[in-house]
Structure 1
Amino acid sequence: MDINVGIVNYNTKELLADCLESIAKQDKSLLAKTIITDNGSSDGSVEYIRDKYPMVTVIASKENLGFAKAVNKILKKAKGKHVLLLNSDTILHSKSIESMVDFLERCPQAGAVGPMLLNPDGSLYPTGRSFPTFLDATMHAFLGTIAPRNRFTRRYKKLDWDRKNKKEVDWISGAAICLRREAVKEVGFFDEQYFMYVEDMDLCYRLWENGWKVFLIPEAKVTHYVGKSSDQERIKMIKEFQRSMYKFFLKQNEGNWKKVLAPLVKLGLLTRSALLTTSAKFRGGR
């Protein structure tokens, strides 16, 4: 298969080992095509990979570069026609890489394809979402934490959508996304203004703007142990997510009248951040 596998790691040595084993089960030769950016881990991740998986390429950073910068290092080093990006806390199911590569080969207009993402209990994780409208983004920010099944959140996350059939989607979660390297290069790689979160939405937005399509296919499946890296700095990551959403809103509406509504969006995101931070502190103190 003409593909590289890219992983960003931050202090998740044990989970990373499981992820690499799941890659090897797809095709052992893929380990030699795997590139890992380690974001300054202190848990011995780099030494472990170099010892146990010497065929894997490791880019060892002395600091946490954030997701976008770390992924761009992988994309610029990759030589494959396609690049599968995985979080270190993911496990590939049988033949998932083959299914995504086959789809990209058969669908030349596809710039990206994602698998069905599963939670550890087997339930569906809502990858394959809509670009949020102003109304959905604002109301999701206000209501998403206190009434997660509200109609605005359901519409944004496509919670009522059957993910068991192949469909075009606005964007795919960066936890597991297979990219046509030509398409990503054409749109300028990931936007490094984002430290964490929303960079996947932003990339897919630019793919659509440049005539590429984005798909989700159920034949490929990946289990995601959500947030194992970000949980290490949970409060900081909650704030980072809201900050990234605000950046996306401003970028999406540059030169658009909707930009005058930015203060309302910011208020919603600050409210959401405060609610989530309070909740995280309460759970952490129990």
Structure 2
Amino acid sequence: MDLSISLVNYNTKNLVKQFVKSASSLQSSLSYEIIITDNGSRDGSADLIEREILPKYETVRLIRGKNVGFGAGHNIGLKSAQGEVFMIVNSDIVLLEDAITPLYRFLTENTAYGIVGPKLIYPDLSIQPSCRAWPRLLTPIYRRTKLGRTLLGRRELLRYDINDYDKRHPKKVDWLAGACFMIKKNVWTDIEGFDERYFMYCEDIDLCRKTWGAGYEVWYYPNVAMIHYHKRLSAQKKWWKSLFDKTTRVHIASHLKYIKKWKSR
């Protein structure tokens, strides 16, 4: 089999239906499977998938589990994957035309490539930042608070988002957003998948860092695009109020784990 598509679901049953429909409507010569790992959803996702998706799409498999986090969920799903390439996707991704085949070809035609990701766009078709430089200690604070509007904050975010690069052309990058990318199975095996110490956030940065460390390259490939129904990160709150937001706290906790793990490497 060419490709195993891994999707971790947590209370996003309608988005899962939308993704499977978009994936199954593509005219691709690749053989593929879609593995959905349900992380203990409470919205009836698993039952809906069994009732409405599995009978209709023979390429789809469902794994029921508990909420172990984003990275661990993908690790579980991909243990039994049959493809030579793995595709990590969020449920809020919609595939456009045959975006899968050219992405797969770009990755597999060069032995040096380990990971490749497409251009991600918002529903209004504007480009979404999805390839970045390695984060520094204060990067998430600048991103999530008004401190990002200060001179130091603006400089750091310009560096982080690689704004000096023309994103119309393929390029080697530090890391790609975990919303959608492909990774060769042998690379995934070499680096032992996602580090499960990250419950949510930074596991994609860590995975790309391990990929580079294993001698493989990470590439951004904007020749194909996929829609990502992702909310733009808001920095409207005062910085000290943002720290009491649960999502921000989880993000910063994961970021500190990342900084601690890689500080001496």
TM-score by length of 1: 0.80
Q: C-alpha displacement at 1:46, in angstroms? A: 0.9
Partner residue, 2:239: none
Moved more, 141-150 or 197-206: 141-150
Partner residue, 1:16: 16
Q: Which of residues 237, 245, 250 in structure 2 aligns to 1:235? A: 245
Partner residue, 1:50: 50
Superposed CA RMSD in Å reads 2.2
| Deviation by residue 1:248-277 (Cα, 9 ceiling, x = unmatched) | 1000114x7xxxxxxxxxxxxxxxxxxxxx
For the Cα contact (< 8 Å) 1:85–1:175, is it kept in 2? yes
Q: C-alpha displacement at 1:161, in angstroms? A: 2.6
Q: Which of residues 222, 225, 245 in structure 1 aligns to 2:226? A: 222
Unaligned runs of 5+ in 2: 233-243
For the Cα contact (< 8 Å) 2:6–2:36, is it kept in 1? yes
Partner residue, 1:112: 115
For the Cα contact (< 8 Å) 1:126–1:159, is it kept in 2? no
Q: C-alpha displacement at 1:105, in angstroms? A: 1.8
The residue type paired with residue 115 of structure 1 is P
Q: Distance in 1 between matches of 2:28 and 2:11?
A: 24
For the Cα contact (< 8 Å) 2:144–2:248, is it kept in 1? no
Partner residue, 2:236: none
Q: C-alpha displacement at 1:235, in angstroms? A: 3.4
Partner residue, 1:81: 84
Q: Which of residues 56, 68, 71 in structure 1 aligns to 2:71? A: 68
Unaligned runs of 5+ in 1: 229-233, 257-286
- Percent of pairs identical after alignment? 35
**Distance 1:92-1:40 versus aligned 2 partners, 3 A rule:** same
Partner residue, 1:244: 254
Q: Which of residues 207, 212, 216 in structure 2 aligns to 1:208? A: 212
- Structure with greater proportional strand content: 2
**Distance 1:179-1:18 versus aligned 2 partners, 3 A rule:** same
Kindly indicate whether residue 79 of structure 2 is the aligned counterpart of residue 95 of structure 1: no
Q: C-alpha displacement at 1:142, in angstroms? A: 4.4
Moved more, 22-31 or 196-205: 22-31
- Structure with greater proportional helix content: 1
For the Cα contact (< 8 Å) 1:116–1:217, is it kept in 2? yes
Q: Distance in 2 between matches of 1:9 and 1:99?
A: 26
Aligned length, in residue pairs: 246
Q: Determine helix, strand or coil for the equivalent of 2:25.
A: helix
Kindly indicate whether residue 192 of structure 2 is the aligned counterpart of residue 188 of structure 1: yes
For the Cα contact (< 8 Å) 1:38–1:58, is it kept in 2? yes
Q: C-alpha displacement at 1:29, in angstroms? A: 9.0
Q: Determine helix, strand or coil for the equivalent of 1:218.
A: strand
Q: Determine helix, strand or coil for the equivalent of 1:33.
A: strand
